[in-house]
A and B are shown apart, each in its own frame.
Chain A
């Protein structure tokens, strides 16, 4: 009777090159989210404004009486503004549990004992949230631009507004980077995704409320730098070559955004560890 080797054989197959472990984290997270019907519904709903705008562009291109609906660069800015509500919901739905759930499950110590660096882990988690945020911001805005060219049958609008493509890309990047890093940092602070969601909502609405109170008292918009959404709006206006809504210099708003991203990075650096250090 032949005796088979019951011991372990060394793995002889291919291994992904170093530095790609973040892809595993990202793929798992994306697959997990796409398996949720409620989330797919939210994603579908987030494209509703796109269809409304597409009808508007179609009408402007094909019905002479609807010329007043013709898109301008501001149309794209407004579209991205409208998408902010979906950015908020997607951020809370996807982002709140990204690290919090791993912390609750004690999974970090196992993950980080594998060939996965802390930065790869954070990058993988960021990629999950950023991908879905790009799907509700940059992708529909760019498709809208393509739709405009398709319905108009020429490149005139794009030629006259050649800055639109980089403007949409830059604004979407700033928005997604700010929101994703801030949410990820908050997610690393707690073991409860519910608490993180509430905390994120509080940050958004509380900063806006404080600015609202200061505006009511001073009748000046120079305190808009306090508000999370106002800073984004101020920078967005500059990117889209529109007059800024607030008195705060756009550079200050940009610095606040950069500061929030940097602070989020610091929080992540301290909180994403395999071993919790209480000192």
Chain B
């Protein structure tokens, strides 16, 4: 692991001390004190838990209402020079659809103070890293959901930051793009970057790291090894929404499996409840890769099961 914060490679990359953030009367983060170590850290929580707020505080876009936060050893608020060492991939799409991927990433890299030629070169390398070289000169408007996610990641890593912050990077991706992205994130970590990745799906986080922060209602509920809460999660059925060409054929294949507890059809999608998400996702990826049952366009998961676990944790 390369140094992330000065001389000591084991120094925490983010340190929050009694950090709170209010939006008027609404609390986004509530007295959060946490140290994020180098490497990959998963930020896990249901929608509205405070994950995005925490990430926006880390990226210096929101000023803490109370408490302090340091990133890579420096205060982040009002410190744009530190932004050069951080790459942020937001959850929402942030594109000019008429620009090509290469133009968009190059323009953003230029904001780091690089020349046109250097910025274009770095943008090309970043697009290559996210396997978008072939689509680099296509308009973003023509990109699929997975390609859009990857071009967002390209702009985050193009300027070679020490710390990557990825807000729900797998959201809406098809199984193959998901697998590629997970592999990429792991590769970046092996190359010495620290990564904070958020999700409301344990399975996604678990496939990237075992180090997690559990967040709910603006509070850090737990931190540490994912396996400690793994059993709790498995007690609650996991819901998966799959948009595909041949939903009926997929349903037939799923029903033959023991771990599928129920399923229902929704427009061009099926919603499956499974007791063993690991096995289910693995089979789903294989199915998508084989193409036997047509194309699978999108896989998402509501956070019902996670919410149940959080309720349990809060009560205990």
The answer to whether A115 and B113 touch (CB under 8 A), given A28-B107, A109-B94, is yes
**A112 partner residues in chain B, CB cutoff 8 A:** 61
**B108 partner residues in chain A, CB cutoff 8 A:** 110-111, 114
**A7 partner residues in chain B, CB cutoff 8 A:** 187, 190-192
B190–chain A nearest beta-carbon distance, Å: 8
Partner of A11, one of B80, B97, B122, B129: B122
Size range of the chain B interface in the assembly: 35 or more
A213 at the binding interface (Cβ < 8 Å): no
Contacting pair B115 A110 (CB below 8 A) = no
Contacting pair B61 A275 (CB below 8 A) = yes
Contacting pair B191 A113 (CB below 8 A) = no
Please provide the chain A residues from 95 to 127 with a CB less than 8 Å away from any CB of chain B in the complex: 101, 105-107, 109-117
**A113 partner residues in chain B, CB cutoff 8 A:** 59-61, 83, 86, 88, 90
Q: Mark B53-84, 1 if CB is under 8 A from A, else 0.
A: 00010011110000000000000000011011
The answer to whether A8 and B96 touch (CB under 8 A), given A110-B108, A110-B155, is no
**A107 partner residues in chain B, CB cutoff 8 A:** 94-96
CA distance A14 to B80 in the complex (A): 18
The answer to whether A111 and B113 touch (CB under 8 A), given A11-B159, A279-B26, is no
CA distance A193 to B93 in the complex (A): 19
Q: Mark B97-136, 1 if CB is under 8 A from A, else 0.
A: 1000000000110111111001000100100010000000
A278 at the binding interface (Cβ < 8 Å): yes
CA distance A15 to B60 in the complex (A): 21
Contacting pair B93 A106 (CB below 8 A) = yes
Contacting pair B114 A110 (CB below 8 A) = no
B316–chain A nearest beta-carbon distance, Å: 33
**B193 partner residues in chain A, CB cutoff 8 A:** 8
B6 at the binding interface (Cβ < 8 Å): no
CA distance A112 to B188 in the complex (A): 23
A243 at the binding interface (Cβ < 8 Å): no
Contacting pair B23 A114 (CB below 8 A) = no
Q: Which residue of A lies closest to B122 (CB)?
A: A11
Contacting pair B95 A105 (CB below 8 A) = yes
B17 at the binding interface (Cβ < 8 Å): no
**A114 partner residues in chain B, CB cutoff 8 A:** 80, 83, 108, 111-112
**B62 partner residues in chain A, CB cutoff 8 A:** 275
CA distance A11 to B126 in the complex (A): 12
CA distance A9 to B107 in the complex (A): 20
**A21 partner residues in chain B, CB cutoff 8 A:** 80, 111, 113
**B190 partner residues in chain A, CB cutoff 8 A:** 7
Contacting pair B111 A109 (CB below 8 A) = no
Contacting pair A13 B94 (CB below 8 A) = no
A194 at the binding interface (Cβ < 8 Å): no
Contacting pair B114 A11 (CB below 8 A) = yes
Contacting pair B61 A109 (CB below 8 A) = yes
Contacting pair A278 B23 (CB below 8 A) = yes
Partner of A279, one of B24, B110, B114, B115: B24
The answer to whether A8 and B191 touch (CB under 8 A), given A109-B92, A110-B94, is yes
CA distance A105 to B108 in the complex (A): 14
**A24 partner residues in chain B, CB cutoff 8 A:** 107, 110-111
B7 at the binding interface (Cβ < 8 Å): no
Q: Which residue of B lies closest to A112 (CB)?
A: B61
B290 at the binding interface (Cβ < 8 Å): no
Contacting pair A111 B111 (CB below 8 A) = yes
Q: Mark A50-82, 1 if CB is under 8 A from B, else 0.
A: 000000000000000000000000000000000
**B95 partner residues in chain A, CB cutoff 8 A:** 105-107
**B94 partner residues in chain A, CB cutoff 8 A:** 105-107, 109-110
Q: A7-B192, A15-B84 are in contact. List 16 more A-B contacts (CB 8 A).
A: A8-B160, A11-B114, A20-B113, A21-B113, A24-B110, A28-B110, A101-B96, A109-B92, A110-B94, A111-B111, A113-B88, A114-B108, A115-B83, A115-B84, A275-B56, A275-B62
- Nearest 3 pairs between A and B by C-beta? A279-B24, A16-B113, A274-B61
22 examples of A-B residue contacts, CB within 8 angstroms? A7-B192, A8-B157, A13-B118, A14-B115, A15-B112, A16-B114, A28-B107, A107-B96, A109-B61, A109-B92, A110-B94, A110-B155, A113-B61, A113-B83, A114-B80, A114-B111, A115-B83, A115-B84, A116-B80, A117-B80, A274-B56, A275-B56
Binding site for A on B (CB under 8 A): 23-26, 56, 59-62, 80-81, 83-84, 86, 88, 90, 92-97, 107-108, 110-115, 118, 122, 125, 129, 155, 157, 159-160, 187-188, 190-193
